[in-house]
Structure 1
Amino acid sequence: MTQLLQSGKLWEQVRSRTESAIAAGALHTIATDHHTLKQGGLEFMVRVALNLKRKALDKQEQSTKPSSVPFNPFLPPDPDLTVTHISSTHLSVLNKFNVVENHLLIVTREFQHQERLLTLDDFEALWLCLGEYPSLGFYNGGAEAGASQQHKHLQLVPLPLYPGESATPFDSLYATAPREDGIQSLAQLPFLHCWCRLPSGLAGNSSTAAEQILSRYLEMLNMVGIQAVNGTDGDYQSAPYNLLLTRDWMFLVPRSQEYCENISINALGFVGSLFVKDMSELETVNRLGPLNLLKAVA
């Protein structure tokens, strides 16, 4: 993989493109309030949307366009949302309907299906971006894991997820995890998952880091029973899952479904960050318990 990303420039490029995309009317931030809920000794932050009308109108417009091919926002990506080329295999695009500010998508240049297994190139592109500023990378492996597009894309959000808070709501959980290097499960999470710390020496070399992360990713998939399924264009996952990682740790959760009582859960739910469409859905999360919500979809 040929690196094209200029070291130390990505954060500036993301912020600059965000400003110009807003001015051009290409970026539509979903305004939210957030609320704190607790269950099982864990803290959850729940964002409640204040207005989803623009996103609904956009979906309606796409559904009425005559086409035999499903709409793909990444082929080509909107130039007003495109941030920079990361490598010979990936480029970066702003999330058009972002809930978290400066939400970046790391997209394959050529079409690959979202249910393809992640590759060395995917992890190298993600690791390059993770090194640019404090951030959380994640992947929604399939529609049941919260993926809204079939074109393979990883995602990157800046940390902390909430102003004035710890990097993620579950930081205290990770801080108290055993200090061992191997893949483990976290006792407070009542569903199948794998978690591990990443070696501190990975920061300097993206190729070496990607190789080690890929190896752990494949080991994690195997440990939760997700196998590689051979396809004509590469290996596919046998089941949906979410993957999250920072420069310090990596977390994988197999999924059974996207929704619980009409509330969609993507990867961010598994660091304690949930999103609901209105106050009635917030009441549902409160009634069920946010940890029970995760258990129901994991």
Structure 2
Amino acid sequence: MGDRYAKLEPATLWDRLRERTRSALACGALLSIETQQCFMEDGGMRFLVRSVSSLRRKARREDDRGADFNPFLPPEPELTLGAIGGNHLGVLNKFNVLEHHLLIVTRQFKHQETLLDRDDFLALQLALQGIDGLGFYNGGAAAGASQNHKHLQLVPLPLTPDGPDLPLEAVLAGVEEGPVPALPFAHAFRRLPTDLWQRPEAAGYIHLIYREMLEQLGIAEVERAGEPRQSAPYNLLLRRGWMLLVPRRQEHFEGISVNALGFAGSLFVRTPQELERVARTGPLRILAGVAGI
């Protein structure tokens, strides 16, 4: 019996993503969240801060579905693009803030705290071959994960046409490996060959670096429920030319939720009071407040 999902190819992934976005918006399956944006300079980075007025409505809708609801088993057909590799599906983020926000979801249930494996990086490799974007992973609820079902994410760049492709990259220049001097929190950074993602061995190579970064930051492999899981939460960010891993100790800073996009230079707030808090505190201090073990 054939696969019910069409195989996604890098050469046509971007067109498929835009096509599915249009149809999902038209039928009401995709519920984009309206935002207002501003920029805040801090530590050499031009942070993008979005005020998200409809997140409260999103939270209520998710509460109505119950804590055990899994939106990925199965994913909504209207949001599903197709198969990425042998073990993952490409699915639109139903409550998207960023346009063309792609989720890379395991077909079978795996917990979000399960360590990433070569197949996960292979799926991300295929996506990055087709879309110049930021891949990221929220490793656990304390790292900003909103679902327990394992999923990587990818957003096309630039994050906004009015600013830099990615605010973080302003402080990465000249750094090949090791700590980035401008980042005041624990992290591991590695520069990657820009053509790596076109090579067959890319997924295995990236997986090896990922495991080295975890070890460097003191995040160990522990067995839970028969799965190899992380001993602590973290965020992983990847672009074609680099990767960054940040350990996490908590999700919130004074009520402001931070996920991997925060470390890329993009923060989200729900209220005018939270926006004022970011301006008063400074984005880098907020990131430092949620990073670490």
- TM-score band (shorter)? over 0.9
1:284 aligns with 2:277: yes
Q: Alignment partner for residue 184 of structure 1, among 164, 172, 178?
A: 178
| Percent of pairs with identical residues | 53
TM-score scaled by length of structure 2: 0.94
1:204 aligns with 2:205: no
Q: Between 52-61 and 155-164, report the one with greater CA deviation.
A: 52-61
Distance in structure 2 (CA, Å) of the matches to 1:232 and 1:279: 42
1:6 Cα deviation (Å)? 2.0
For residues 38-61 of structure 1, the C-alpha deviation after alignment (integer angstroms, 9 at most, x for no partner) is 222322110111333541341232
SS at match of 1:131: helix
What one-letter code is carried by the residue in structure 1 that aligns with 2:98? V
Q: Alignment partner for residue 108 of structure 2, among 107, 110, 125?
A: 110
1:41 aligns with 2:44: yes
Distance in structure 2 (CA, Å) of the matches to 1:7 and 1:32: 30
For residues 91-131 of structure 1, the C-alpha deviation after alignment (integer angstroms, 9 at most, x for no partner) is 01000000000000000000000000000000000011011
Distance in structure 2 (CA, Å) of the matches to 1:239 and 1:157: 25
1:138 Cα deviation (Å)? 0.1
- For residues 189 and 214 of structure 1, do their structure 2 counterparts lie closer, same or farther at Cα, with a shift above 3 Å needed? same
Distance in structure 2 (CA, Å) of the matches to 1:13 and 1:41: 36
Distance in structure 1 (CA, Å) of the matches to 2:40 and 2:212: 33
What one-letter code is carried by the residue in structure 2 that aligns with 1:195? F
For residues 179-219 of structure 1, the C-alpha deviation after alignment (integer angstroms, 9 at most, x for no partner) is x4xx31101111100111112341322x4000110010000
- For residues 53 and 293 of structure 1, do their structure 2 counterparts lie closer, same or farther at Cα, with a shift above 3 Å needed? closer
Aligned residues: CA RMSD: 1.6
1:256 aligns with 2:249: yes
SS at match of 1:8: helix
1:60 aligns with 2:53: no
Mapped contact 1:13–1:84 kept (Cα < 8 A): no
Q: Alignment partner for residue 139 of structure 1, among 137, 140, 157?
A: 137
Distance in structure 2 (CA, Å) of the matches to 1:13 and 1:201: 23
Mapped contact 2:234–2:248 kept (Cα < 8 A): yes
Gaps in structure 1 of 5+ consecutive residues: 64-68
Mapped contact 2:44–2:171 kept (Cα < 8 A): no
Mapped contact 1:103–1:155 kept (Cα < 8 A): yes
Distance in structure 1 (CA, Å) of the matches to 2:268 and 2:198: 35
Equivalent residue for 1:77?
A: 75
Distance in structure 1 (CA, Å) of the matches to 2:276 and 2:49: 11
SS at match of 1:60: helix
Equivalent residue for 2:237?
A: 244
Gaps in structure 2 of 5+ consecutive residues: none
1:24 aligns with 2:18: no
1:164 Cα deviation (Å)? 3.5
Deviation beyond 6 Å, 4+ runs, structure 1: none
Equivalent residue for 2:171?
A: 173
